[in-house]
Amino acid sequence: MSIVEKVNLTTGTGWGSGSCVGNTGSVPRLGIPELCLQDGPNGVRYTDFVTNFPSGIAAASTFNKGLVYLRGKAIGKEHKQKGVHMALAPVLGPIGLKAAGGRNWESFGADPYLQGILGAATIEGIQDEGVLAIARSFVGNEQEHFRQVGEWEDNGWDRLEKSISSNIGDRAMHEIYMWPFADAIRAGVGGIMCSLNQVNNTYACENSYLLNYLLKEELGFQGFVVSDWGAQHSGVYSALAGLDMTVPGEIFDDWLSGKSFWGPLLTRSVYNNTLPQQRLDDMVTRILAPFFAIDTLKLPSDEDTPNFSSWTYHTYGQQYPYQHYGPIIQQNYHQNARTKFSDDIALNVAREAIVLLKNDGHNLPIDKDDGIRKILIAGSGAGLDARGYNCKDQRCYEGPLTSGWGSAAVNNPFVISPYEAIAKRAREREMLVEYSNDNWDFDSLDELSDLVDLAIVIVTADSGEGFIEVDDNYGDRQNFSLWNNGDEIINHVASRCSKTIVVVNSVGPVNMEKFIELENVVGVVYAGPLGQYVGQAIAEVLFGEVNPSGKLPFTIARKKSHYVPIVDSLKDSNDPQDNFDRDIYLDYRFFDKHNIKPRFEFGYGLSYTKFQLSDLKIVEINSPTEYLPYPEEYLPIYRTIEDDICDPEDALFPHDEFDPVPGFIYPYLYNENVQTLPDDDRFDYPLGYSETNTNSPPLSGGFGGNQALWEVLFSVKAKVKNIGKYKGGFASQLYIEFPSTFVSSPPKVLRGIDKVFIKKGDTATIEFNILHRDLTIWDTRSQQWIIQTGTYKIFVGSSSRRVELCGEIDIGA
Ligand code: NOJ
């Protein structure tokens, strides 16, 4: 490839300059089309005839790896059908440090192990369908406030000069924030997106330590790093720091200007010797490598292009609608990407995601034989929003939540509302159904509540991405209250109806203290954003067609002060700092360490049946070693690509071949006036940047780092018997308590999940593998993963606080 061909693959062509939210340039000579990058994690964004899958947080609450793999596969299949080459999925950060963080619903819950295992399953699913997965966002994007200069104009926030800096300590970086990305890399993820925020006061997308060292050296990542939209803040510097691709292409907020940090300037920097050509070769090799290295991926041909446009839903439109340029062409082919497979998976995930939190008196499942003849369905989550269920980026919030809002939102092909699905089942059972969907009209609600045998109140709490403000929530939630008067509605209904069931349909934990202990609130169910089948899944659980088997992927606290607050004021600075003082004590680790009683702990969730655990067996498979063995030496790198800089004239815009589209980003030089910089005038390379291969054993050595980290050291098995009245799923969890030989660790960390479905009276075996990495701590002094000597307690149970079985592993010196 020529320099301009290579540069073209590294730089997006500009916002709106292609079918997808991100489009690289093409290499027509080799038949490589513009590569299409499209959101996202819950289905294909900005198009029709697709499935709106249950969100990441809902997928997490299934605690079911196999099902999450199938969800990834279904999401991959639909991207493929639409002609997407690279899916901007899965989301592995935010990790949920802040319960009110606006985008927590996109990822897999407040635990690195859960994020890692479900992230890897999703990547395998997507890539098995021939679509390259891009895991994101690396790293520390734990809140929306101040994520991006230019987005914050209200409340005096326009003073913001730099994105917020997430200041993360070394141990937390390794044990919490990087952990799921190691799993992603091991699963063969093609791309990783660097985040909008700064990390320790350097922008994530130009943080050489983060990208060159941690990601590419230590974790052995051989794919490419792509910027979040507008997360690039420098040209040569970001290239040297490890960024391989920039999208959408232009400088943030200068959309349609055609001005880019890269594109023509990257070409110039190679010609004038500022950027070693070897780095450009590396960038392009990394972008193309996944298509050759991963069996299921294939480099797209120029016939393999998207069949939709992100910029219009009409069939025909101008080729470059934002630029008002070009001929009228067919923009959308309305290709049906939906299949029975994706429908089934969307519904099954929604069903398994539902968490039963309270069932006093066993009023659930609803049974006609219990004398229930007249029911009330109430709450703004019961019926659809009057504005519909496809407001742009899902910013409407008055119906049930199919997702949060922002770039991870997907158009619903339809939505089954809780009212529709519950009323149908009630009618089939000859019950009378009353309905109220007005959360401000207490008089009629009171009247109705007085007259029914059972009431179901569906309440919501929403959040989303920072570029959209909804009801004064700037992405992040401003508090943990239920939206649309939810608490008042529950209290009105429960003060009159002795069997009140509350369904909390929310993006994360809410304050339940105002209703959870009310005697008449006999049942409480948590449902995350469940996609298009939200109502059906809820109704199936309430009526016992499905036995709930979901578990909370976060802790629900009793007090707001137990959560990490959002930094939502600039105070005197224009450069906000967010010190991650919780260190490794994320979510339940913090509650456990300080002996704080949560309302509902991480991993909690009831069933209509009962399970009994027994027969814990721990068997050593390989003996643990304190230090990691040295990996095999890397093979020497033989450079096969020669520098091929010739005449700058070769890189000039070929005006005789075509006219430039206004605002489109091309790789060509503006003029041939390229000066080669003298050697002593060279650009300062970022600390640690080396043009030669660096190897950092014992950490590196393969995808995800030293491969010995994935060696199985112990196998753990136990028996689970269904001793209740219904068949059901049991999401078993394995936690480890570490010794404190060198450093102290959280009282318990999740290190295994295994979900089994068991018929009434039957017994199943649950199995876990404890890997080398599962027993390690990150030793900041020696900069290594080490296994401490001492006693490790192994807990197997049904939540982070209900551990029915306990065993020990002794590791001697
Ligand atoms: C910005 C968001 O942060 C990112 O997650 C998304 O993929 C891009 N916008 C593209 O829509």
pLDDT tens-digit map of 9-51? 999 999 999 999 999 999 999 999 999 999 999 999 999 999 9
Protein residue with least CA distance to atom 3, ligand 1: 228
Q: Which conformational region is residue 721 in: left (phi greater than 0), alpha (psi within -120 to 50 degrees), or beta?
A: beta
Give the pLDDT band of residue 684 (cuts 50, 70, 90): confident
Q: Which CATH superfamily is domain 613-630+700-811 in?
A: Immunoglobulins (2.60.40.10)
Mean pLDDT lowest among 174-178, 353-357, 693-697: 693-697
3-state secondary structure 794-810: EEEECCCCCCCEEEEEE
Per-residue pLDDT at 629: 86
Predicted confidence (pLDDT) at residue 671 exceeds the cutoff of 90: no
DSSP 209-225: IIIIIIIIIIS---SEE
Mutate to test the pocket of ligand 1, among 393, 465, 468 (most ligand atoms within 8 A of CB): 465
> What mean pLDDT is predicted for residues 470-483?
97
Closest-CA residue, ligand 1 atom 6, reads: 407
Q: What gap in Å lies between CA 145 and CA 141, rounded to an integer?
A: 10
Whether residue 688 has pLDDT greater than 70: no
Q: Please indicate whether residue 154 is annotated as part of the active site.
A: no
Please report which confidence band the pLDDT of residue 477 belongs to, taking 50, 70 and 90 as the band edges.
very high
Quickly count: other Cβ atoms within 10 Å of residue 686's Cβ: 19
- Residue by residue, DSSP assigns 691-731 as SS----TTT-SSTTS-GGGG-EEEEEEEEEEE-SSS-EEEE
- Residue found under tokens 């029915």: 804
Q: Record the tokens describing residue 207, joined without a space.
A: 């943080």
- pTM reported for the whole predicted model: 0.97
For residue 546, report the distance from its CA to the centre of ligand 1, in Å. 35
Calpha distance 469→237 (Å, rounded)? 33
Is it the case that residue 648 has pLDDT exceeding 90? no
Mean pLDDT across 69-96: 98
700, pLDDT greater than 90? no
Q: Top-level CATH class of 354-566+576-608?
A: alpha beta
Nearest Cα to Cα of residue 50 among 40, 61, 60: 40
Which amino acid does the sequence have at 318? Q
Distance CA 309, CA 334 (A): 10
Instruction: Identify which of 195, 265, 266, 257 has the alpha carbon closest to the alpha carbon of residue 230.
Output: 195
* Choice between 404 and 272, residue whose per-residue pLDDT is larger: 404
For the chain, how long is the longest CA-to-CA vector?
A: 89
Mean pLDDT, residues 524-549 taken together: 98
DSSP alpha helix (H) spans, 532-580:
534-542
- For the domain 3-307, what is the CATH code? 3.20.20.300
Task: Average the pLDDT over each of 13-22, 515-524, 623-632 and give the range with the smallest value.
Answer: 623-632
pLDDT band (50, 70, 90) for residue 494: very high
Residue having the nearest C-alpha atom to atom 4 of ligand 1:
228
Atom of ligand 1 nearest to the CA of 22: 10
For residue 639, what pLDDT band results from cuts at 50, 70 and 90?
A: low
pLDDT of residue 257: 82
Query: What beta strand segments (E) does 295-385 contain?
Result: 316-320, 325-330, 355-359, 374-378
Convert the pLDDT of each residue in 148-199 to its tens digit: 998 998 888 999 999 999 999 999 999 999 999 999 999 999 999 999 999 9
pLDDT value of residue 691 = 66
For residue 195, give the ligand 1 atom closest to its CA: 3
- Residue the block writes with tokens 């994520």: 147
> Which of 655, 527, 439, 522 lies closest to 54, judged by CA?
527
Question: Is 80 exceeded by the pLDDT of residue 632?
Answer: no
Give Cβ neighbours of residue 241 (< 8 Å, ≥ 6 apart). Answer: 205, 206, 207, 208, 211, 212, 686, 689
371: which 2 tokens? 């004398």
CA geometry: angle 327, 328, 329, nearest 5 deg: 105
Distance 505 CA to ligand 1 centre (A): 24
The edge-to-edge listing of strands for the beta sheet with 611-620 is 611-620, 712-722, 763-771
Ligand 1 site: residues with CB under 6 angstroms? 21, 39-40, 88, 228-229, 407
> How remote is the CA of residue 213 from the centroid of ligand 1, in Å?
24
pLDDT above 70 for 631: yes
Cα–Cα distance between 197 and 214 in angstroms, integer? 17
Q: What is the CA radius of gyration of the chain?
A: 27
Domain boundaries, the chain: 3-307, 354-566+576-608, 613-630+700-811
Q: State in Å: Cα 228 to ligand 1 middle.
A: 6
Strand locations in 169-277, DSSP E? 191-194, 198-199, 202-203, 224-227
**What pLDDT was estimated at residue 775?**
98
Examine the pLDDT at 695 and tell me if it is beyond 60: no
Nearest CA to ligand 1 atom 11: 407
Query: Average pLDDT, stretch 109-133?
Result: 98
Average pLDDT in the chain: 95
% helix / strand / coil in the chain, to the nearest 5? 25, 20, 55
Counts of helices then strands in the chain (DSSP H, E): 16, 27
pLDDT more than 90, % of the chain: 88
Q: How many whole angstroms from 507 Cα to the centroid of ligand 1?
A: 18
The region, left, alpha or beta by phi > 0 then psi within -120 to 50, assigned to residue 695 is: beta
- pLDDT above 60 (res 694): no
Cβ contact 806:742 at 8 Å: no
The fraction of the chain above a pLDDT of 70, given in percent, is 97
pLDDT value, residue 697: 59
**Mutate-to-test residue for ligand 1 from 407, 465, 468, highest number of ligand atoms within 8 A of CB:** 407
Mean pLDDT computed over 512-532: 98
pLDDT at residue number 673: 77
Q: Is 613 helix (H, G, I), strand (E, B) or coil?
A: strand
Catalytic annotation, pick one of 111, 228, 385, 393: 228
Task: Flag whether pLDDT at 696 surpasses 70.
Answer: no
Q: How far is Cα of residue 482 from the mean position of the Cα atoms in its chain?
A: 23
Find residue 455's DSSP bridge partners.
376, 500
Q: How confident is the model at residue 252 (pLDDT cuts 50, 70, 90)?
A: confident
Q: Ligand 1: which of 146, 228, 405 to mutate, most ligand atoms within 8 Å of CB?
A: 228
Q: Which phi and psi (to 5°) does residue 284 adopt?
A: -70, -40
* Residue among 552, 479, 737 at smallest CA distance from 110: 552
